[in-house]
C-alpha cells in the first residue's frame, strides 16, 4: 500500500514529465521550417544564332539558321527574343516571280554592313553557263561560309530569267516569255528599239513596252533599292571582257572593273564591236550609285570556275 507521502512524490513526477513534454511541443511549433528550393534548369543560349525573332502574342515556333548544317527552334509565348547575327548566316528568299510564275530566288551569305550582289542568267538559256557558275559559287559558299568577310553580306541571284533558261539552251532562250531582253528593260538610257548593227540579232527580241515593264526587272530593281546594294556583278557570256556601269562609266565601276581584271584573264577595257547598249542593269545600278560591272565568261559553255573563285574573293574584299 502506497503511503500518502509516496503518492505525492509520484504525482509530482508525473506533472514534471507532462510539463517537459508540453514545453518540447511548444518549442517545435515555434521553430521555422527549412524549405530547400528545387533547382530549375537555366536556358541555354546559342552564341551564333542568325536573326532576330519577334513572336506574336500567341505561342510560335521559329526556325533560326545557325550554320549550313545546324538549325535551332526558338519558342516563346509572348516575349521578344533577340539573337545575335552570325557571320556565317545563310538563307534564301524569293524576291519576285517571272512571267510564268517561276520564283526569283536570292541566296544570302554573311550578315555584314556592306551589301554586295551577283546576278546571273539575265539572258536565260542563251547564257546558261552563267547560271551554272552562280550555282557552283553558291555551293562553294555553303561549304566555306568563312570566305565571306565579317563586314560583308553577299547576295546571289543565280537566274533572273528562269523562263528563258527553261525554254532552250540556245538563241531562243535569250528573251523572257514576253520576248523581252531583260538587259534592255531597265530605266537607264532605255529605248523602245535600237540599231542592231554590231549587236546580238539572232532572234526577234524587244526592249519591252516601257522601262521596267517586265516582272523580272521590277523585282530586281526593288531588291537593289531595299537592300542598299553597294556593288554588283552581272555575269554574261561570252568573250568580250569586263564592262563598267555608266555612260560614260562612273569612277567606282571603273575601279571595280580594274580590280577584277587584275585577278582574272578577262579583257579590260572590253572588246567593242559598235553595239549601242540601252536599258542595261549595270547602267541603272551606276545611276543609283552602285558600283557595277558586266563580266563576260570566255565561252558559252565554260564556267571559268577557278578564275571566278578569284573574282569572288576580290569582289568581297574590294573597297571603293
* Tens of pLDDT, residues 266-306: 999 999 888 999 999 999 999 999 999 999 999 999 999 99
Closest C-alpha among 265, 243, 229 to residue 156: 229
Q: pLDDT band for 41, please (50, 70, 90 cuts).
A: very low
Residue 274 belongs to a domain with what CATH number?
A: 3.40.630.10
Return the pLDDT at 150.
Answer: 97
Q: How confident is the model at residue 85 (pLDDT cuts 50, 70, 90)?
A: very low
Comparison of pLDDT for 9 and 72, the residue scoring more: 9
- 75 and 123 together in one domain: no
Residue identified by cell 556565317 is 88
Question: Considering only CA atoms, which of 108, 118, 152 is closest in space to residue 319?
Answer: 152
Integer Cα distance of 186 and 293 in angstroms: 15
The reply to whether 300 and 190 lie within a common domain is yes
Tens-digit pLDDT profile for residues 42-71 = 333 333 333 333 333 333 233 333 333 333
Cis amide leading into 211 (omega within 30): no
Are both 247 and 128 inside the same structural domain?
A: yes
Q: Is the dihedral of CA 145, 149, 152, 158 positive or negative?
A: negative
More reliable by pLDDT, 194 or 177: 177
Percent of the chain residues topping a pLDDT of 70: 73
Which residues are CB-neighbours of 206 under 8 A, at least 6 positions away?
A: 175, 179, 180, 181, 184, 192, 193
Q: Are residues 75 and 127 in the same domain?
A: no
H helices present in 102-227, as ranges: 128-143, 162-167, 215-226
Q: To the nearest whole number, what is the mean pLDDT of the chain? A: 83
Question: What residue ranges in the chain does DSSP mark as E strands?
Answer: 60-67, 70-76, 90-97, 103-109, 114-119, 152-157, 231-237, 242-244, 291-297
Averaged pLDDT, 169-177: 97
Range of the domain at 193: 90-317
Lowest mean pLDDT among 17-31, 63-77, 151-165, 179-193: 63-77
What is the pLDDT at residue 90?
85
What is the Cα–Cα distance from 139 to 117, expressed in whole angstroms?
16
Q: How far apart are CA 92 and CA 153, in angstroms?
A: 13
Maximum mean pLDDT: which of 60-69, 71-80, 201-210: 201-210
Number of domains comprising the chain: 2
Residue 150 falls inside a structural domain: yes
Tell me if 183 is assigned to some domain.
yes
Which strands form 291-297's sheet, in the order they lie side by side? 90-97, 103-109, 152-157, 114-119, 231-237, 291-297, 242-244
Query: Quick one: 121 and 189 in the same domain?
Result: yes
Amino acid at each position: 500500500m502506497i503511503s500518502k507521502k509516496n503518492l505525492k512524490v509520484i504525482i509530482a513526477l508525473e506533472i514534471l514529465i507532462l510539463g517537459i513534454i508540453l514545453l518540447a511541443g511548444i518549442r517545435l511549433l515555434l521553430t521555422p521550417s527549412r524549405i530547400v528550393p528545387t533547382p530549375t534548369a537555366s536556358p541555354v543560349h546559342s552564341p551564333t544564332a542568325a536573326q532576330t525573332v519577334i513572336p506574336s502574342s500567341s505561342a510560335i515556333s521559329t526556325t533560326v539558321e545557325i550554320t549550313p548544317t545546324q538549325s535551332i527552334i526558338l519558342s516563346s509565348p509572348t516575349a521578344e527574343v533577340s539573337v545575335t547575327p552570325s557571320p556565317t548566316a545563310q538563307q534564301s528568299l524569293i524576291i519576285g516571280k517571272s512571267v510564268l510564275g517561276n520564283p526569283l530566288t536570292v541566296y544570302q551569305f554573311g550578315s555584314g554592313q556592306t551589301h554586295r550582289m551577283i546576278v546571273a542568267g539575265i539572258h536565260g538559256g542563251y547564257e546558261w553557263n552563267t547560271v551554272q557558275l552562280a550555282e557552283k559559287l553558291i555551293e562553294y559558299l555553303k561549304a566555306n561560309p568563312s570566305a565571306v568577310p565579317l563586314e560583308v553580306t553577299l547576295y546571289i541571284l543565280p537566274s533572273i530569267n528562269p523562263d528563258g533558261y527553261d525554254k532552250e539552251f540556245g538563241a531562243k532562250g535569250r528573251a523572257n516569255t514576253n520576248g523581252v531582253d531583260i538587259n534592255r528593260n531597265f530605266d537607264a538610257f532605255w529605248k523602245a528599239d535600237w540599231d542592231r548593227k554590231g549587236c546580238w540579232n539572232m532572234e526577234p527580241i524587244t526592249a519591252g513596252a516601257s522601262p521596267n515593264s517586265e516582272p523580272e526587272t521590277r523585282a530586281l530593281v526593288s531588291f537593289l533599292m531595299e537592300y542598299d546594294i553597294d556593288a554588283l556583278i552581272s555575269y554574261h557570256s561570252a568573250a568580250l571582257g569586263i564592262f563598267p556601269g555608266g555612260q560614260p562609266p562612273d569612277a567606282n565601276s571603273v575601279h571595280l572593273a580594274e580590280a577584277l581584271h587584275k585577278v582574272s584573264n578577262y579583257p579590260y577595257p572590253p572588246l567593242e564591236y559598235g553595239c549601242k547598249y540601252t536599258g542595261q542593269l549595270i547602267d541603272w545600278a551606276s545611276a543609283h550609285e552602285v558600283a557595277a560591272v558586266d563580266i563576260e565568261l570566255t565561252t558559252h559553255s565554260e564556267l571559268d570556275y577557278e578564275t571566278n573563285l578569284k573574282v569572288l574573293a576580290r569582289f568581297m574584299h574590294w573597297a571603293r
